[in-house]
Copies of this chain bind each other. A is one copy, B any other.
Amino acid sequence: MRQVAVIGVGQTPISEHWDKSIRELAGESIVVAMQDAGIAHADGLFVGNMLSGSLARQENLGALISDWIGLKHAEAVKVEAACGSGAAALRAGLIAVASGEMESAVVVGVEKMTDARPADVTAALATAADADYESAQGLSFVAINAMIMRRYMHAYGWKHSDFAPFSINAHANAVHNPIARLPFKISEAEYRDARMVAEPINLLDAAPIGDGAAALVLVPYDRMKRIHSNGRAGVAIIASASATDKLAVHDRRDPTWLEAAHQSARRAYSQAGLGPQHIDFFELHDAFSIMSVLSLEASGFAECGQGPRLGLDGHILPTGRIPITTMGGLKARGHPVGATGAYQIAETVLQLRGEAGQNQIDNARIAMAQSIGGSGATVITHILARR
């Protein structure tokens, strides 16, 4: 299949957009992305979204949004993989363009969560877990992650404070991200003393929900070179892989090992002909600090049980060996669940183009982004390269 470029990106601020509907949020990001791309039409639209049916009583987002943005009679569909929906939509759009089925595609991740009642949001987020064997027992999504973190701390002997660098780094990186939800620094003391949510996960271990949309425009790489002949850096998707694991954590052999992340990263490395040592920065899915650790381990950046060491030794910082959450991550940029995967890619593209402002990673040429749906059940990994 032919190589595909991300030729345009657009992001709305992640906030409480009570004055904007789903179509308006999505449309806002798509208009920016298409202007960025320099094209006025796309053959297809792929919407990543998890909760619109539950929280906004709206399905059929493909038709809703393609009409709103003026893609008259275009093909359009929604793709769902819980919190990995945005990345899953990208993968669907990527295959459509890479295969020649389409000459261009818009991918948009969109989620609107903050004008529903908090209890309804918590219940809706629990649909990412196993409804029959987890949620039905009263487990919220954060509770499931708390049990994983507790088990991990027990198995490998880490203290809660050992996870602080992940949250501190994410918040520091969000400060200069104009669309971030929580653009402020936090201290180690603030991390330690934050309000408990589900022990051992406190408020500063957990990513905030939000409303937002991020859009990506995909074209074949050769076409991008013709459109952007002005010398702007091109960004190609050089690997894309998705894998699943048992949905219920108790069914997995080891609850502290993300096999789906491992499989997904392994396949992506194989497609790209690269390994973790070639990745200049890694936009991972830090819905909870424990997920940063497990994602790093499963993707080959740390030995099993040694992920916290990357934080404690400063390797995850913008100047470190493997910078992560370079624009704030889920933790501080924010986590509008079905949109998050698209935000991760938008940030990756900005970094690879050298347009990340004060957050710019030096000499960023190859980047990985990974999205997780459920507590490790669906994992989608993309590798992008500056060309």
Contact: B77 with A77, CB < 8 Å? no
Stretch at the interface among A121-129, A151-159, A323-331: A121-129
Q: List CB contacts (< 8 Å) of A212-243 with chain B.
A: 241-243
Question: Is A82 interfacial (CB-CB < 8 Å)?
Answer: yes
The answer to whether B243 and A77 touch across the interface, beta carbons within 8 angstroms, is no
Q: Which residues of chain B are near A124, meaning CB under 8 Å?
A: 53
A23 to B88, CA, bound (A): 21
CA distance A381 to B322 in the complex (A): 47
Task: Establish whether residues A242 and B60, one from each chain, have CB atoms under 8 Å apart when the complex forms.
Answer: no
List which A307-355 residues lie within 8 A (CB) of chain B: none
In the assembled complex, the CB of A383 is this many whole angstroms from the nearest CB of chain B, namely 16
User: Nearest Cβ in chain B — how far from A265, in angstroms?
Assistant: 12
Q: In the bound complex, do residue B245 and residue A130 qualify as a contact, i.e. CB atoms below 8 Å apart? A: no
Q: Does A96 contact B (CB under 8 A)?
A: yes
CB proximity to B under 8 Å, residues A73-98? 73-82, 88, 91-92, 95-96, 98
Q: How far is the CA of A259 from the CA of B74 in the complex (A)?
A: 11
**Closest Cβ neighbor of A376 among chain B residues:** B63
Given contacts A74-B244, A78-B81, A99-B99, whether A59 and B50 have CB atoms under 8 Å apart is yes
Please tell me if the beta carbons of B99 and A63 are within 8 angstroms of each other in the complex. Answer: no
A129 to B92 Cα, complex, angstroms: 24
Q: Please tell me the number of chain A residues within 8 Å of chain B, measured between CB atoms.
A: 64
Closest chain-B Cβ to A49's Cβ sits at a distance in Å of 8
* Chain A residues numbered 246-304 whose CB sits less than 8 Å from any CB in chain B: 246-247, 251, 259-260, 263
Given A59-B50, A67-B251, is A101 in contact with B92 using a C-beta cutoff of 8 Å?
Answer: no
Q: How far is the CB of A241 from chain B (nearest CB, A)?
A: 8
A77 touches B80 (CB 8 A): yes
Q: Which residue of chain B has its CB nearest to the CB of A129?
A: B60
Complex contacts, A80 vs chain B, CB 8 Å = 53, 59-61, 77-80
Contact A60 B377 (CB under 8 A): yes
Any B CB within 8 A of the CB of A183: no
Q: 9 A-B Cβ contacts within 8 A? A: A53-B54, A60-B128, A62-B81, A63-B245, A67-B246, A73-B244, A76-B244, A77-B88, A77-B92
